[in-house]
Structure 1
Amino acid sequence: MTENAHGGDDAESLRHKRKDLLKVARRHFMAEGYSAARMEAIARDASVSTATLYAFFPSKTDLFIRVIDDASDDFARQIQGVQVRAGAVHEQLVAFGETYAAFLGDPLVRAVFRLVMAERRRFEPTADRFFERGRAEIGGVLMQVIGEHVEAGALKVERPSWAAGQLMGMIEHPVFFVPMVTGEAVRSRRDVRCIVGQAVDTFLARYGTGQG
């Protein structure tokens, strides 16, 4: 695809147009699913010709993969922007946990996860890449916090990746997976602050040294 093929638009204009197309396509895929979504309807909603849409994305399969990868990029930027404030180990872990729970509760995040789960059989490598990247990005932030407190003597952790996964799992299960599996019909009776607080207390009972 060349700039000339799009009327001489510069690279920045093409980048914005591509991003707009992905956002429109994301809405259609989330609302209709992969099978029911139509390239013609996506192009019409984006105010471009079908030929223009196909010039950017040669097939609906390619478009779907790019939509999921683009959502993954957006989530990665959101996660990288998390700033865990300085403080004692309990304070920092609670701050991380509440930020993570808010991320999991974001309606857009949940909608994209549902879409990926629904289409996993058809797009298994894309789904695996989406899930693994999210886990690695978020886990990396938590592992950094854990590592700092291990060095400070407040935590005793032999495998930071395992410890991070355990804390994240205690938050994910009630906040994210139970509502996702039940279609939001079942939610924890505990509020998010209680869930995070109990998860951190359990984590520190296992890994804390009492020095932080």
Structure 2
Amino acid sequence: MDGPAESPADVQALKRQAIVREAREHFVTEGYTATKMEPIARAAGVSTATIYSLFGGKSELYSAVIDEACDDFTRRMESIRAIDGDARETLTSFAEDYADFMGDPFVRSVFRLVVAERTRFQEVALRFFNHGRAEVGLTLIDLIRRLSADGELKPIEHPSWAAGHLVGMIEHPTFFVNLVTGDQIRIRRNRKQIVDDAVETFLARYGA
């Protein structure tokens, strides 16, 4: 027996999902200007009229792609919220997940796209930045506050500064070097060494 038929809303949602997925690949690989609606429609299995009916135009589709990437990033970072343990365990777990996230070539490709189009889409770029700061920065700040309150870290007057110190030690080798060089330079330290060094340096400064 066949299952229940999909509602029109479900069909529209599936079409929208397919369009955003294919548009993301085109924007990332070709850039905003070179991306055309017709190839996206063919890859998504819809008509160009469907794209325009759902998004209005290419700029609205670009905005939807970046917003969807933000949501994807949030889902991938949610596991960090459940961390529980002493300072080294907690910070190492956070640092490992964050290093994996920032070291993902797809994540870098989205950042490159946002940076390349920031003058054209300033509001989208600002929303992207604020979203990342809230999802990652506030999560780590909350962890640092908890560890400090539990006596695992020293009393920290500015938890946001401490959070910036830790993520900066992770972001530079796993993200910014490759972002700037186009993945042409290989960092000598592996991911585990980067994480261990960052946590050790952080605890030397802030450990109780």
User: Which of 130, 146, 149 pairs up with 1:148?
Assistant: 146
- Residue type of the alignment partner of 2:116: A
Q: Which residue matches 1:3? A: none
SS in 1 for 2:33: helix
Q: Which residue matches 2:175? A: 176
- Residue type of the alignment partner of 1:176: F
The whole-number CA distance in structure 2 between the counterparts of 1:49 and 1:154 is: 58
Q: Which residue matches 2:87? A: 89
8 Å CA contact 2:141–2:163 kept in 1: the answer is yes
8 Å CA contact 1:43–1:50 kept in 2: the answer is yes
Q: Which residue matches 1:34? A: 32
Q: CA deviation at 1:84?
A: 4.9
8 Å CA contact 2:81–2:139 kept in 1: the answer is no
Q: CA deviation at 1:148?
A: 1.4
The whole-number CA distance in structure 2 between the counterparts of 1:136 and 1:85 is: 17
Q: Which residue matches 1:61? A: 59
Between the two proteins, what is the percent identity of the paired residues? 51
Q: Which residue matches 2:130? A: 132
8 Å CA contact 1:174–1:187 kept in 2: the answer is no
The whole-number CA distance in structure 1 between the counterparts of 2:84 and 2:9 is: 41
Q: Which residue matches 1:193? A: 192
Say whether 1:17 aligns with 2:12. Answer: no
- Residue type of the alignment partner of 1:115: L
Say whether 1:158 aligns with 2:141. Answer: no
Superposition pairs of residues 103-122 of structure 1, within 5 angstroms: 103-122=101-120
Say whether 1:49 aligns with 2:38. Answer: no
Q: Deviations over 1:103-125 (max 9, x none)?
A: 11122212111111211121121
Q: Deviations over 1:27-65 (max 9, x none)?
A: 111111100000111111111111111000111111111
The whole-number CA distance in structure 2 between the counterparts of 1:203 and 1:132 is: 25
Q: Which residue matches 1:71? A: 69
Q: Bigger CA drift: 113-122 or 168-177?
A: 113-122
Q: CA deviation at 1:174?
A: 1.0
Q: Which residue matches 1:5? A: none
SS in 2 for 1:177: helix
SS in 2 for 1:169: helix
Q: Deviations over 1:136-174 (max 9, x none)?
A: 201222122211111111212111112111110110011
Q: Deviations over 1:63-118 (max 9, x none)?
A: 11111111111111111233554322012111110110001112221211111121
- Residue type of the alignment partner of 1:90: R
SS in 2 for 1:82: helix
Aligned residues: 202
Runs of 4 or more off by more than 4 Å in structure 1?
Answer: none
Q: Gaps spanning 5+ residues in structure 1: where?
A: 1-7
Q: Bigger CA drift: 37-46 or 74-83?
A: 74-83
